[in-house]
């Protein structure tokens, strides 16, 4: 299985951080994880330090001031070295096995450059979370063709998209969500974009 780098931006989501990181590390893929704390005031930094001390796959970037979610996204992108990359906010979880499945699709289908899955929204406390995550295991994969812009725009309210470098050059396509981006496609989030809640 190929290696994946996962950036986990966090701002005042310390209560979710340990579960998020454990969920990612339990996916079975070879990975590195970067927790990017955006000057949280809720103890997230201390939680992140403990998690990193417990597992050598986890690294930290601790900001002294809140620079916004997009700065954290870009820091994660700059840090990434692996063939595949993912951004997962600290209050999110992956469905069991979905990371391996997405990596398999990306490896097996060379025309596919982006893999993402549906979302399950819950409010805490949610005793049915594990069943809802299992039901969300279906992962979608799209090739970066002219349909990508249409599919991504209906899944976000962002006024400015995340752009992959190949799209910046052609200006003909844009992706509003990065689930995975092969390393050859550099990615960047515009610093001027409005913040994304929850990151």
- The reported pLDDT for the residue numbered 112 is 81
Residue 67 · residue 38 · CB < 8 Å? yes
188 has a pLDDT exceeding 90: no
- The reported pLDDT for the residue numbered 122 is 64
DSSP state of 175: B
- The reported pLDDT for the residue numbered 187 is 41
Put simply, whether the predicted model's pTM sits higher than 0.85 gets the answer no
* Confidence band of 106 (pLDDT split at 50, 70, 90): confident
Of 132-136, 165-169, 179-183, which has the strongest mean pLDDT?
132-136
- The reported pLDDT for the residue numbered 105 is 86
The predicted-structure confidence for 35-92, as pLDDT tens digits, reads as follows 999 999 999 999 999 999 999 999 999 999 999 989 999 999 999 998 899 999 999 9
| Ramachandran angles phi, psi of 103, nearest 5° | -65, -40
CA–CA distance, 180 with 141 (Å, rounded to integer):
10
* Confidence band of 27 (pLDDT split at 50, 70, 90): very high
Superfamily of 4-188 according to CATH = Spore Coat Polysaccharide Biosynthesis Protein SpsA; Chain A (3.90.550.10)
The predicted-structure confidence for 109-161, as pLDDT tens digits, reads as follows 888 888 877 777 666 655 444 444 444 444 344 444 444 444 443 333 332 22
Task: Please choose, from the candidates 75, 68, 104, the residue with its C-alpha nearest in 3D space to the C-alpha of residue 7.
Answer: 75
- The reported pLDDT for the residue numbered 192 is 38
* Confidence band of 198 (pLDDT split at 50, 70, 90): very low
Per-domain residue ranges for the chain?
A: 4-188
| Ramachandran angles phi, psi of 78, nearest 5° | -65, -35
């Amino acid at each position: 299985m190929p290696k994946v780098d996962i950036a986990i931006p966090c701002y005042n989501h310390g209560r979710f951080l340990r579960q998020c990181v454990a969920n990612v590390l339990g996916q079975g893929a070879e990975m590195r994880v970067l927790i990017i704390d955006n000057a949280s005031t809720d103890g997230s930094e201390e939680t992140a330090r403990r998690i990193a001390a417990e597992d050598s796959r986890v690294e930290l970037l601790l900001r002294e001031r809140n620079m916004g979610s997009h700065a954290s996204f870009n820091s994660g992108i700059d840090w990434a070295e692996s063939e595949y990359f993912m951004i997962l906010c600290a209050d999110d979880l992956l469905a069991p096995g979905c990371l391996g499945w997405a990596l398999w699709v990306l490896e097996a289908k060379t025309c596919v450059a982006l893999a993402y899955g549906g979302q399950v929204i819950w409010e805490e406390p949610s005793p049915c979370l594990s069943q809802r995550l299992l039901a969300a295991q279906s992962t979608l994969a799209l090739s970066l063709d002219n349909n990508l812009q249409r599919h991504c725009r209906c899944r976000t309210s962002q006024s400015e998209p995340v752009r992959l470098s190949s799209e910046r050059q052609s200006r003909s396509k844009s992706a509003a969500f990065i689930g995975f981006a092969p390393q050859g496609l550099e990615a960047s989030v515009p610093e001027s974009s409005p913040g994304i809640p929850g990151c």
